[in-house]
Amino acid sequence: HVEASNLHRPPLYGIADLGRAKAEMAAERLATLNRDVVLDAIATHATRENVDGFVAGYDLVVECTDNFRAKFLINDACFFAGKPLVHGGILRFDGRVTTIVPKQSACYRCIFKTPPPPGLVASCQEAGVIGVLAGIIGTIQATEALKLILGIGHPLTNRFLDFDAKKTLFREIKVK
């Protein structure tokens, strides 16, 4: 649900949206931008029981979750369903994007074997995040999704694109 601590990040939410489900609010707002786009708002947490159903009806998944448990669940569901996955993550002044194509590139679990123990890595709520970072990383994720849909360019497979907002520096990290 939209909380006051969320308002500085995505431009989709405002004060009047506090307490509303983020997914439903985002779908409602985005529908006003283009009525030809079909949006499915899934306003529930990803679990082992439901994540396969979430990815089944889609050609690709853009993952924008804020916790490691969900990131691993979504990665695994996409891997076993053979669905491409565009991963994004942000914290403080740093962001990261990678594109995963099952059986063609390293997946999230190939790189990070297991989620970190609870409390080891601070959340955005605990450590903070510069608001514009969500837009920067989200735009790169959208670009990756378009490249996959259109079959053009060179997706960020087998590499992470890191962004350091303090230095305005992009760095590519190759992975296997």
| Those residues with Cβ within 8 angstroms of residue 113's Cβ, 6 or more apart along the chain or in another chain | none
| Those residues with Cβ within 8 angstroms of residue 125's Cβ, 6 or more apart along the chain or in another chain | 5
| DSSP secondary structure of 98-126 | EEE-TTTS--HHHHSSSPPPTTSS--HHH
CA 176 to CA 174: how far, in whole Å? Answer: 7
Beta bridge partners of 162: 96, 171
124 is catalytic: yes
For the annotated catalytic residues, the residue numbers are 124
